[in-house]
Amino acid sequence: MNAVADHDTAMVAGPVLGDGDFQFLRGFVYQYCGIALSEQKRQLVQGRLARRLRALGMRGFGEYCELLRRDPGSELDELSSAISTNVTAFFREAHHFDLLAGELLPRWLEQKREGGRLRIWSAGCSSGEEPYSIAMVLAEALERCGRTVDAKILATDLSPAALAAARKGVYPLERLEGVSPERRRRWFLRGEGEYAGLACVHPRLRELTAILPLNLLHEWPMQGPFDAIFCRNVVIYFDQPTKQKLFRRYARLLPDGGHLFLGHSESMHGLSDEFELIGRTVYRKKPA
Ligand SMILES: C[S@@+](CC[C@H](N)C(=O)[O-])C[C@H]1O[C@@H](n2cnc3c(N)ncnc32)[C@H](O)[C@@H]1O
């Protein structure tokens, strides 16, 4: 998970996070979210959680930690949302989408039988820009191939706010910076009147995308197989054992030759021998 950047640590007047509560929160966040918070993150955690405390009507961190001890599950999503960042963009790391559109999708669609199944998972989808970017490329590839394929994108995240935004699928026009003019015209509906300045994703993209809550460190209900998994800019603050375990679990949901996309500063180096690197942060599952 991407912890917030240090410039977010501006002091916010409010409750002070003492050492005991900070140590408890560090342990809790590590156990439940896989994030190893360094000692230096105390100000950051204090600032971020102060908002949450206000929303809960709590006056101090002691009260908040008590809630976590009593009922860890109840606050998990809000806590991890508060300390992680949901930064994302349409066609972020555009080379992944070029590979998908230019090489992988045409090949996979060619190989599928009529009515065959194609599945892509956007794990850590944030507010939807990543799965909808995949959906644009997929919809175009399906149109080009002209065959009936049962294609779907699964988009999951643990942040309730991010999931709500993804489901809404409405973005300020300036968020569409990475989308080509042609795709803007094809895949977005421009808002008018009170919606001026906003763009809504085309119903076809929604139809291709199922958006669901899922903490990657918990049980997964789906069986796979997926043709590809996008897990980009998510594992960056997970510690090594957490990443290792996650990559092993991804390998189980991918067929031989299935693809795993990581973020630009993420790597599998030394963590898994089940994948081979085939491009910039693109991995392919090796045959067993
Ligand atoms: C920086 S965003 C990346 C979004 C998108 N994948 C991209 O690259 O643009 C990281 C996302 O991962 C989600 N996330 C972090 N830890 C998670 C976990 N344990 N389970 C599910 N989602 C998680 C966060 O809520 C956040 O929305």
**Least confident window among 8-22, 71-85, 263-277:** 8-22
The answer to whether the CB of 227 is under 6 A from ligand 1 is: no
Could you tell me which of 217, 214, 263 has the C-alpha nearest to residue 239?
A: 217
The per-residue pLDDT for range 122-171, each reduced to its tens digit, is: 999 999 999 999 999 999 999 999 889 999 999 999 888 899 999 999 99
| Residue-averaged pLDDT of the chain | 91
Q: Which of 35, 59, 83 is the last residue of a domain?
A: 83
Cα 28 to middle of ligand 1, angstroms: 18
- Pocket perturbation via mutation, ligand 1, pick of 81, 127, 158, 265 by most ligand atoms within 8 A of CB: 158
Domain containing 159 equals 94-170+202-285
The per-residue pLDDT for range 183-219, each reduced to its tens digit, is: 999 999 999 998 999 999 999 999 999 999 998 988 9
- Torsion-angle region of residue 169: left (phi > 0), alpha (psi -120 to 50) or beta? left
- Mean pLDDT of all residues in 32-36: 78
Q: Which residues contact 56 (CB under 8 A, 6 or more apart)?
A: 64, 67
Q: Are residues 251 and 122 in the same domain?
A: yes
Q: Give the pLDDT band of residue 13 (cuts 50, 70, 90).
A: low
Q: Are residues 25 and 146 in the same domain?
A: no
The answer to whether the CB of 88 is under 6 A from ligand 1 is: yes
Q: Are residues 112 and 139 in the same domain?
A: yes
Chain centroid, CA 200 distance in Å = 20
Angstrom distances, CA of residue 46 to CA of 13, 50, 228, 281: 10, 6, 38, 34
Which atom of ligand 1 lies nearest, measured to the CA of 88?
Answer: 9
Q: Is 163 helix (H, G, I), strand (E, B) or coil?
A: helix
Looking at the structure of the chain, the number of domains it has is 2
Whose structure tokens read 């002070």?
A: 16
Tokens of 286: 């090796």
The yes-or-no verdict on residue 9 having pLDDT over 70 is no
Tokens of 25: 């929160």
Residue 84 DSSP one-character state: B
Cα 35 to middle of ligand 1, angstroms: 12
CB count in 10 Å sphere of residue 249: 12
The answer to whether the CB of 86 is under 6 A from ligand 1 is: yes
**Least confident window among 56-60, 75-79, 256-260:** 75-79
Q: Are residues 75 and 215 in the same domain?
A: no
- What whole-number percentage of the chain has pLDDT above 70? 95
Q: Which of 60, 83, 106 is the last residue of a domain?
A: 83
User: Which H helix or E strand runs over 151?
Assistant: strand 150-157
Phi, psi of 16 (to 5 degrees): -100, 135
Nearest CA to ligand 1 atom 13: 124
Omega into 181 within 30° of 0, i.e. cis? no
Q: Give the pLDDT band of residue 36 (cuts 50, 70, 90).
A: confident
- Pocket perturbation via mutation, ligand 1, pick of 84, 87, 265 by most ligand atoms within 8 A of CB: 84
Q: Give the pLDDT band of residue 8 (cuts 50, 70, 90).
A: very low
Rounded to whole angstroms, how far apart are CA atoms 219 and 215?
A: 8
